[in-house]
């Protein structure tokens, strides 16, 4: 089944999202993932201060892949752990909208 893309506002930025399965690709290659008609759920997040956020990232036990979605202004930045989940948004463990002063990490880890 093919994706049907629309542009939505997500955490203050414009993002592509499939209207059928909810996929929001963090990288162009993610757009090639099959559409499943099942809307993926974003993991539960909690807000941290910048110092807490920086420490959380330093102490994270596995390597993270940083993704910057620069098509939005300001850019949306995520840190992803693809050992937890093979696709976005379930792989997000931390996020921020650049220069927003708001920092989020997964609350279930």
Torsion angles phi and psi, residue 65, rounded to 5: -105, 120
Q: What is the pLDDT of residue 28?
A: 73
Mean pLDDT along residues 23-33? 74
Mean pLDDT along residues 55-72? 92
CA 41 from chain centre, in angstroms, equals 11
CB distance 100 to 48 below 8 Å: no
Task: Collect all residues with Cβ–Cβ distance below 8 Å to 93 and sequence separation of at least 6.
Answer: 43, 60, 64, 79, 80, 81, 84, 105, 106, 109
Question: For the whole model, what pTM was predicted?
Answer: 0.63
Percent of the chain with pLDDT strictly greater than 90? 38
Q: What is the pLDDT of residue 92?
A: 92
Q: What is the pLDDT of residue 39?
A: 56
């Amino acid at each position: 089944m093919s994706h049907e893309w629309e542009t939505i506002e997500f955490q203050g930025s414009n993002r592509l999202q499939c209207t059928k399965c909810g996929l929001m690709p963090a990288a162009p290659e993610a757009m090639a993932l099959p559409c499943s008609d099942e809307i993926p759920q974003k993991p539960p997040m909690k807000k941290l201060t910048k110092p807490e956020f920086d420490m959380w990232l330093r102490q994270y036990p596995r390597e993270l892949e940083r993704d910057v979605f620069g098509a939005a202004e300001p850019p949306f930045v995520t840190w992803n752990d693809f050992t937890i989940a093979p696709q976005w948004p379930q792989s997000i463990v931390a996020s921020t909208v650049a220069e927003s002063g708001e920092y989020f990490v997964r609350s279930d880890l």
